[in-house]
Amino acid sequence: MSAQPFIEVHGARENNLKNISLHIPKQKSRSSPGVSGSGKSSLVFDTIAAEAQRQLNETFTAFVQGFLPHYGQPDVDSIENLNSPIIIDQKRVGGGSRSTVGTYTDIAALLRLLFSRIGEPHVGPGFAFSFNTPQGMCPECEGIGKTVQLDMDKFLDRSKSLNAGAIQHPEFKVGKWLWKNYTLAGLFDNDKPINQYTADELHALLYGADLKVPFGEFNTTYEGLIERFTRMYIKKDAAAMSDRNRAIFEAFTNSQTCPLCQGARLNQAALNCRIRGRNIAALSDLEATDLLVFCKGWMTTPSRPA
Amino acid sequence: MQGLDDDPIAARVAAKLTERVGHLVDIGLGYLSLSRETSTLSGGESQRVKMIRHLGNSLTEMLYILDEPSVGLHARDVARLNALLQKLRDKGNTVLVVEHDPDVIAVADHVVDMGPRAGIHGGEVVFEGSYTALQQAQTLTGQFLAQHLPVKTEVRQPTGHLTIRNAQLHNLKNITVDIPTGVLTVVTGVAGSGKSTLINEVFLEQQPEAIVIDQSRVTANSRSAPATYTGIMDEIRKVFARTNGVSPSLFSFNSEGSCPHCNGLGVVYTDLAFMEGIATPCEICEGKRFKADVLEYHLRGQCISDVLDMTAEEALEFFTEKKIRPVVQAMNEVGLSYLKLGQPLSTLSGGEGQRLKLATELHKQGSIYVMDEPTTGLHLSDIGLLMGIIARLADAQNTVILIEHHLDVIRQADWIIDLGPEGGSAGGEVLFEGPPAALQGCELSITARFI
């Protein structure tokens, strides 16, 4: 048992708290109901959790503290006998498309380690099974499992000229800086509808030409529409974009399952490595309930016939 | 083939793996796969996944602090959650939970009830002790613990129905469902049974004009507040301008009238290089966000800064304006009476944000409303209030669809669609369709056992 059986809160005044004091028994589970806005969160999160986390953070060097979340000093006289806190809130985990339940819980790391030990044929250490490392990721989709292409029919209204707003994407609108890259390039008749372009002109518009575009005081390197869009948008992670930008991005692109890895995210060496006939991608796609059954199978029966 | 029996390291890794996957199943997330992207997880799922990270460690005498872990959990899964909380405690930890669910409160060794009411009427400890003592206590929580809404027997008659035909997205098993129009429908089922897929994905694709009140965050930059979000700020500025004969833009902390020192933020951020930055109240406007001369203009004795500092409850007494009152009234009705008009939206919880959305959407002329767990974060006494609002929507012959686990809400439905029987691939079937009184006889349904 703990030497001090209570967490003692004295004079808590954060938000609407009315200078309250209370003793909370330790090593007990404890609930704090109360109507919405009654001060539950002010007591539990803004006072007790904030103070415990703040004091814990102060045990680190100033440099490390710079990376830790900030908790202000709560308005309370004193809190005695605090324990180290672990705060489990409801903020969404979020993360980009490289973050999965497996990576977040570190269960994926255990599974990778296991494949590196007993998978057949032997491939290499655990990171050869990670879609987030160059050693493991599918070379075609770079570990995302999907490939994204620009949808040219939506991106370009070929019945219009550049000056009439042939390019549909909002960042390429008439008058915008990106639009000037094309109209000032001197490659095109800016009043000619795109569907009347010659093959060479169309190629230059879409895939680029070796050229500098004069912008008065400076020049920029000319890039074709597809090249530029791929660099500016497709190489970025859509899950990390703002809602608005992602909506625009999705309106102008088609995504399809990666033709090489079939969505498994890993390179062929990793996918060919199996335990009991299953590769790591197949196991990762199992619902946890089924994966547990599979795992228990390993534990109870010998992995090769005796 | 080299196997576990030859490789003690692999055997240990496999044992650890089995244990961790077991945690995932224990906590009611057995329907998730490891390859599921975390950005697609709901708030409740996120919280349970975070718990998994801590369950494996052997640290003791830690202080675990959880915020409403029962959110999004079916009554059956709450029992599993309770077992986990008790396991944490039995390892020698202290577990501190903010919670409204009576089933979670019931397993607490010690309960602290805050109140007596919200906002300035709260902030005191009204009860401390055991659950059995709480049941006898004369606090709001104590009174409502014993009280359950009855199963509704006189249900509204539908005006027609909308049909979802042959839905097979994700785990749905080619199901066809009729959603009655003009009544309150509650969609239930254990976590992962396909409720969200059926309503949020399949149904909303068919009915894009439906008004959706979900738990996605209300847009929160450092300048948004309930007043700007609900749109009443424009009216408030106009009233101030008209009364004082000046321009409305003076009364915006985002434009002309803002304090030039802090640009209307009310605080000044000082960057301390590698130390954490500090926010201090602006020394010029003293946190009031406006220029001093703007604060000279009054409306019925209050300056603009005073008005933004009002709670919705105070604002309801203050405003007589026709365009402002209904919104403020709605904020009170959805249980946000304690919220200040100028409080930054970034400080709102998920449930509060959702109710603010509801307050904003109540005036819109819609015909279909879809709400994803609107009782999140609501105290038992506030649920009755919310159900009153929802009943009014249905009385006006709107089609209201709730995805909900709360038993009192399920009992008050006109029509129930229960999905299951389990989560993930073992779910996706319709177990029951009909009025609540008939659900009790349904043997397949897990929900029926808890009604």
pLDDT digit string (tens) for A8-20? 999 999 888 999 9
CB spacing of B32 vs A42 below 8 angstroms: no
Return the pLDDT at A305: 42
Q: Rounded mean pLDDT of A68-77? A: 82
Question: Over 90: is that where the pLDDT of A101 sits?
Answer: yes
Q: What is the pLDDT confidence band of residue B1, given thresholds at 50, 70 and 90? A: very low
pLDDT, tens digit, 9 for 90 and up, residues B43-56: 778 888 888 888 77
Chain centroid offset of residue A144 CA: 11
Q: What is the mean pLDDT of chain A?
A: 87
CB spacing of A34 vs B10 below 8 angstroms: no
Q: Which amino acid is at B417?
A: I
Pairing label, strands B415-420, B278-281: unpaired
User: Of A155, A173, A145, A168, which Cα lies nearest the Cα of A238?
Assistant: A145
Return the pLDDT at B19: 92
Most confident of A235-249, B117-131, B174-188: B174-188
Peptide bond into B116 cis (omega under 30): yes
Question: Over 50: is that where the pLDDT of B83 sits?
Answer: yes
Helices and strands (H, E) in chain B, number of each type: 18, 14
**B39 at the A interface (CB within 8 A)?**
yes
Return the pLDDT at A306: 35
Q: Which of A95-104, A161-170, A214-223, B306-315 is the least confident region?
A: A214-223
Triad B24, B29, B32: Cα angle to 5°? 95
3-class secondary-structure state, position B426: helix
| H or E element that contains A275 | strand A274-275
Task: Give residue for tokens 């738990």.
Answer: B215
Which whole-number Å values give the CA distances from B119 to A15, A42, A144, B356, in the listed order?
A: 9, 11, 47, 16
CB spacing of A93 vs B123 below 8 angstroms: no
Q: Which amino acid is at B2?
A: Q
CB spacing of A37 vs B112 below 8 angstroms: no
Interior/surface letters A100-129, b for 16+ CB within 10 angstroms, e for the rest: bbbbbbebbbbbbbbbbbbbeeebeebebb
pLDDT, tens digit, 9 for 90 and up, residues B225-267: 899 888 899 999 999 999 999 999 899 887 888 888 888 888 8
Question: In 10 A of CB B10, how many CB atoms?
Answer: 23
pLDDT, tens digit, 9 for 90 and up, residues B390-417: 898 899 889 999 999 888 899 999 999 9
Compute φ and ψ for A111, nearest 5 degrees.
-65, -40
Peptide bond into B260 cis (omega under 30): no
DSSP B440: T
Peptide bond into A214 cis (omega under 30): no
Return the pLDDT at A251: 87
Q: What is the pLDDT confidence band of residue A278, given thresholds at 50, 70 and 90? A: very high
* Measured distance CA(A176)–CA(A162) in Å, rounded: 12
User: Of B230, B248, B238, which Cα lies nearest the Cα of B321?
Assistant: B238
Q: Rounded mean pLDDT of A25-29? A: 82
Q: Rounded mean pLDDT of B342-359? A: 81
User: Of B424, B136, B368, which Cα lies nearest the Cα of A293?
Assistant: B424
Query: How close B242 gets to chain A, by Cα (Å)?
Result: 34
Return the pLDDT at A1: 46
The secondary structure of A189-255 as a DSSP string is: -TTS-GGG--HHHHHHHHH--S-EEEETTEEEE---HHHHHIIIIITS-GGGS-HHHHHHHHHTEEE
Q: Which of A169-173, B1-5, B94-98, B127-131 is the least confident region?
A: B1-5
**Sign of dihedral through CA atoms B141, B143, B145, B149?**
negative
* Measured distance CA(A17)–CA(A42) in Å, rounded: 7
A244 or B341: whose pLDDT is higher? Answer: B341
Question: Is the separation of the CB atoms in B10 and A117 below 8 Å?
Answer: yes
B386 or A111: whose pLDDT is higher? Answer: A111
| H or E element that contains B415 | strand B415-420
Contacts of B197 (CB under 8 A, 6+ apart): B167, B169, B170, B171, B172, B428
A108 or A94: whose pLDDT is higher? Answer: A108
3-class secondary-structure state, position B114: strand
* Measured distance CA(B427)–CA(B190) in Å, rounded: 9
Q: Which of A118-122, B183-187, B205-209, B274-278 is the least confident region?
A: B274-278
Task: Give residue for tokens 């640290």.
Answer: B59
Q: Rounded mean pLDDT of A86-111? A: 87
A contacts of B140 (beta carbons < 8 Å): 34-35
Q: What is the pLDDT confidence band of residue B217, given thresholds at 50, 70 and 90? A: low
Pairing label, strands A278-279, B62-67: unpaired
Return the pLDDT at B58: 80
User: Of B101, B98, B65, B104, which Cα lies nearest the Cα of B82?
Assistant: B104
Q: Which residues pair with A88 in a beta bridge?
A: B66
Contacts of B383 (CB under 8 A, 6+ apart): B375, B406, B408, B409
Q: What is the pLDDT confidence band of residue B447, given thresholds at 50, 70 and 90? A: confident
Q: Rounded mean pLDDT of A79-91? A: 88
Q: What is the pLDDT confidence band of residue A44, given thresholds at 50, 70 and 90? A: very high
- Determine what percent of chain A is predicted with pLDDT higher than 90: 47
* Measured distance CA(B146)–CA(B135) in Å, rounded: 7
B contacts of A31 (beta carbons < 8 Å): 97-99, 104-105, 108, 111-112
* Measured distance CA(A122)–CA(B327) in Å, rounded: 65
User: Of B358, B115, B36, B360, which Cα lies nearest the Cα of B214?
Assistant: B358
> What's the pTM?
0.79
Triad B316, B322, B323: Cα angle to 5°? 90
A contacts of B69 (beta carbons < 8 Å): 88
Which of A21, A24, A75, A101 is the best residue to mutate to test the B interface, defined by the most B CB atoms within 10 Å of its own CB?
A101
Q: What is the mean pLDDT of chain B?
A: 87
CB spacing of B13 vs A302 below 8 angstroms: no
Q: Which two tokens stand for residue B79?
A: 């029992």
Q: Rounded mean pLDDT of A58-67? A: 84
Chain centroid offset of residue B152 CA: 24
Q: Which two tokens stand for residue A250?
A: 């999705």
Q: What is the pLDDT confidence band of residue A185, given thresholds at 50, 70 and 90? A: confident
The partner residue sitting opposite A85, judged by closest CB among B63, B274, B277, is B63
Which of A7, A71, A86 is the best residue to mutate to test the B interface, defined by the most B CB atoms within 10 Å of its own CB?
A86
The partner residue sitting opposite A83, judged by closest CB among B61, B68, B119, is B61
CB spacing of B94 vs A93 below 8 angstroms: no
**Sign of dihedral through CA atoms B295, B298, B302, B305?**
negative
Task: Give residue for tokens 């575009």.
Answer: A213
Beta-carbon contacts below 8 Å between A and B = 349
- Determine what percent of chain B is predicted with pLDDT higher than 90: 40
B contacts of A16 (beta carbons < 8 Å): 119-120, 122-123, 338
Return the pLDDT at B303: 93
| H or E element that contains A135 | none
The secondary structure of B131-145 as a DSSP string is: HHHHHHSSSHHHHHH
Give the residue on B whose Cα is nearest the Cα of A85: B63
pLDDT, tens digit, 9 for 90 and up, residues A164-183: 999 999 889 998 888 988 99
**B17 at the A interface (CB within 8 A)?**
yes
Q: Which amino acid is at B107?
A: V
Return the pLDDT at B273: 61
Task: Assign 3-class secondary structure to B369-406.
Answer: EEEECCCCCCCHHHHHHHHHHHHHHHHCCCEEEEECCC
Which domains are present in chain A?
6-80 (no CATH), 101-145+258-299 (1.20.1580.10), 149-257 (1.10.8.280)
Question: Over 70: is that where the pLDDT of B372 sits?
Answer: yes
Q: Rounded mean pLDDT of B46-68? A: 85
